């Protein structure tokens, strides 16, 4: 065969595409003719040459053929007018069938009008066929209804057959399909299953559906059995050799997702979830957009409800400055603040690379926002003084800090200079420059601290409280625990270890931590900052603590691996400065309620302002000259609860974290 001929043969699908409209119209014309023919056959008892006139006229030659010349063009025009030739038959849906019904009804109605026009005349000429008044009155009116039903049936059947061909008849079935189990037999589950069935030759094979609704049990959806309840997931995954589980439940809670994941621990099953319920209900779910279940789905909580009016009143049209703007919390603070349209957003950060990244992101997402980028160290008073004088911020969010506990144990002077000295510089300048409000971000490690980092943050809390006075700058402190996914935190470390196939390192089997998402933390900081009037320490309700070893097992399971088989977990021992568990308030002191259900206020003992200021001055003066032991001793002088290695009498730790979550249950 010549190259040209071979090329023409190989491109026959392109030829079909080129003549698609002609083929679609021609197919509809044939289907309309068949529908009308069937209508006449039904009306005249399937007697093809039954006489209908005074002579030898038959309905086929004297009624059907002339009216066919009218019915087909009329319906072709109506279907074109109603856009019936542009849809893809391969993806026909119930909505498409509805449109066929309406188009058929409109076509039949116009056909009916044509009939009455014929009936009003004495003789009509259609082609070469004459229809006289007597003959046309022998026309069976039931033809109209039957013709409409036939048009719907044949056109819909034609489209459904095309879809059936692509989904069930077309060859090239893959032999290496991923076996999928769907959780949820409702609308979301049905939509996902329908999409899986359409694409199954490419990747997936659905082997079953689970649902806790007893009315759904032992039923079938698109031929797939609802084979059990969610409590049976482990047994069914083993019996059906499931490789992936798709969670198609509207608004699944982290607790319910975690229960499913823990049930399947050790099976090597991957978990995925539908990206958005609205996408499912609209029928536009794409299997390629179904995302993996992440650790945030297990540990996250319900979305934060913000009082946007209060926050907007504080931020909109104002000049807002964020220190530590390149860090995990600082950068998220910038994103959240940008949503409220401040007049200027001033980013202060001493590390240029993360500052560059957040600046680029903000300028791209908020082109109308005035972003000011300043490289500065918060401990540099001269630089910060010039900066605040030039920019004149109304509100300062202070997120700059050293946060790595074991590292700061070996570098206490740096923790003091940054966490204490830097905070003191920013706070003092805020008062001098007439800043309206400063919101300081603190940590649960400041409660009964056992680390230099935690103790330095507690000293910073105490210091800013001494500056808060009526008619001056309002100082508000917000305290919370670990943030999921922040740089240097446990989650990205575990992810990297799993990706490398290395054992996951956990310090102690009983170690617990509170977790919240970066977005939730930043939003609650904004809310607490807007609520504060000066001198408060707000505590974010962190939910229940999570054992780090359980977190490690969950992350291994979510990766489709088996804890202790594919990835080992090894215990390395508690590092310097670490606790087995964190606390959010001191023993004997309480957390009061606020207007927001996720924010409490710490009812603390007032400190001696003069002693605190003198102690901070001495600490910062000794930061570069004193030994590690001497600096820890100085910290203990300011924070009696600090349990340093040099302490001779350490106050005993409570058996469990203090009662914020008991007083404020989830």
Full set of structural domains in the chain with CATH: 17-169 (no CATH), 178-293 (3.40.50.720), 308-663 (3.40.50.720)
Q: How many CB atoms lie within 10 A of CB 218?
A: 9
pLDDT the model gives residue 342: 95
Q: For 445-489, what is each residue's pLDDT tens digit? A: 888 899 999 999 999 999 999 998 777 899 999 988 788 767 667
Q: For 366-407, what is each residue's pLDDT tens digit? A: 999 999 999 999 999 999 999 999 999 999 999 999 989 999
Query: Does residue 133 have a pLDDT over 80?
Result: no
Listed residue (308, 605, 632, 590) closest to 450, CA to CA: 632
Catalytic annotation, residues: 445
| Alpha carbon distance 322, 139 (integer Å) | 84
The DSSP string of 294-346 is: -HHHHH--SPP---HHHHHHHHTTSEEEEETTTSHHHHHHHHHHHTT--SEEE
The DSSP string of 568-590 is: -EEE--PPTT--SS--SS-TT--
Query: Does residue 34 have a pLDDT over 70?
Result: yes
Q: Looking at residue 205, what DSSP letter applies?
A: E
- And the tokens for 562? 């088996």
pLDDT the model gives residue 421: 96
Query: Does residue 16 have a pLDDT over 80?
Result: no
Q: What is the phi/psi pair of residue 441, to 5°?
A: -95, 120
| Alpha carbon distance 297, 256 (integer Å) | 10
Q: What is the mean pLDDT of residues 401-426?
A: 94
Q: What is the mean pLDDT of residues 432-454?
A: 92
223 — pLDDT class (breaks 50, 70, 90): confident
CA angle 448, 450, 453 (to 5 degrees): 100
pLDDT the model gives residue 412: 94
pLDDT the model gives residue 86: 67
Judging by beta carbons within 10 Å of its beta carbon (0-12, 13-18, 19+), is residue 194 exposed, middle or buried?
middle
Q: For 99-116, what is each residue's pLDDT tens digit? A: 788 888 888 888 777 766
Residue 471's region, left for phi above 0, alpha for psi from -120 to 50, else beta, is left
């Amino acid at each position: 065969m010549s190259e040209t001929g071979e090329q023409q043969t190989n491109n026959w699908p392109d030829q079909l595409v080129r003549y698609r409209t002609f083929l679609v119209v021609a197919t509809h014309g044939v289907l309309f003719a068949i529908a009308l023919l069937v209508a006449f056959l039904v009306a005249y008892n399937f007697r093809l040459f039954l006489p209908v006139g005074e002579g030898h006229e038959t309905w086929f030659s004297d009624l059907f053929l002339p009216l066919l010349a009218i019915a087909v063009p009329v319906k072709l025009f109506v279907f074109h007018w109603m856009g019936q030739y542009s849809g893809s038959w391969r993806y026909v849906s119930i909505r498409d069938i509805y449109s066929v019904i309406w188009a058929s009804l409109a076509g039949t109605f116009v056909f009916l009008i044509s009939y009455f026009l014929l009936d009003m005349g004495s003789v009509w000429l259609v082609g070469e066929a004459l229809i006289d008044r007597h003959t046309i009155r022998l026309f069976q009116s039931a033809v109209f209804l039957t013709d409409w039903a036939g048009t719907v049936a044949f056109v819909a059947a034609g489209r459904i057959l095309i879809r059936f061909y692509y989904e069930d008849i077309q060859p090239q079935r893959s032999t290496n399909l991923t076996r999928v189990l769907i959780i949820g037999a409702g609308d979301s589950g049905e939509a996902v299953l329908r999409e899986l069935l359409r694409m199954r030759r490419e990747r997936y094979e659905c082997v079953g559906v689970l649902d806790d609704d007893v009315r759904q049990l032992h039923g079938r959806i698109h031929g797939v059995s609802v084979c059990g309840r969610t409590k049976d997931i482990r047994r069914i995954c083993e019996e059906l050799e499931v490789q992936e589980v798709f969670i198609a439940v509207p608004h699944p809670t982290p607790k319910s997702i975690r229960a499913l994941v823990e049930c399947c621990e050790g099976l090597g099953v991957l978990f995925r979830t539908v990206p958005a319920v609205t996408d499912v209900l609209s029928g536009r779910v794409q299997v390629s957009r179904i995302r993996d279940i992440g650790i945030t789905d297990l540990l996250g909580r319900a979305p934060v409800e913000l009082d946007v009016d209060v926050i907007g009143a504080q931020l909109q049209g104002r000049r807002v400055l964020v220190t530590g703007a390149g860090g995990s919390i600082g950068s998220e603070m910038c994103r959240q603040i940008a949503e409220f349209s401040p007049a200027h957003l001033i980013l202060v950060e001493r590390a240029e690379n993360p500052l560059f990244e957040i600046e680029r992101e903000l300028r791209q997402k908020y082109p109308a926002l005035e972003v000011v980028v300043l490289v500065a160290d918060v401990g540099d008073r001269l630089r910060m003084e010039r900066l605040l004088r030039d920019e004149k911020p109304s509100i300062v969010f202070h997120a700059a800090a050293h946060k790595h506990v074991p590292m700061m144990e070996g570098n206490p002077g740096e923790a003091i200079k940054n966490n204490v000295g830097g905070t003191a510089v920013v706070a003092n300048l805020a008062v001098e420059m007439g800043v309206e409000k400063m919101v300081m971000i603190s940590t649960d490690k400041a409660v009964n601290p056992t680390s230099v980092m935690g103790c330095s943050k507690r000293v910073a809390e105490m210091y800013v409280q001494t500056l808060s006075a009526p008619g001056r700058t309002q100082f508000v402190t917000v305290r919370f625990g670990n943030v999921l996914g922040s740089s240097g935190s446990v989650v990205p470390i575990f992810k990297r270890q799993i990706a490398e196939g290395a054992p996951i390192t956990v310090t102690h089997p009983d170690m617990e931590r509170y977790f919240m998402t970066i977005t939730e933390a930043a939003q609650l900081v904004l809310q607490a900052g807007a609520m504060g009037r000066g001198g408060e320490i707000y505590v974010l309700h962190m939910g229940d603590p999570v054992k780090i070893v359980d977190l490690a097992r969950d992350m291994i399971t979510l990766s489709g691996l088996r804890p202790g088989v594919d990835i080992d977990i090894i215990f390395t021992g508690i590092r310097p400065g670490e606790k087995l568990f964190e606390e959010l308030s001191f023993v004997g002191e309480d957390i009061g309620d606020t207007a927001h259900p996720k924010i409490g206020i710490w009812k603390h003992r007032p400190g001696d302002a003069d002693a605190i200021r003198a102690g901070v001055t001495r600490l910062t003066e000794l930061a570069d000259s004193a030994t590690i032991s001497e600096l820890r001793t100085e910290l203990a002088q300011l924070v009696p609860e600090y349990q340093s290695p040099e302490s001779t009498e350490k106050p005993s730790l409570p058996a469990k974290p203090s009662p914020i979550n008991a007083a404020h249950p989830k």
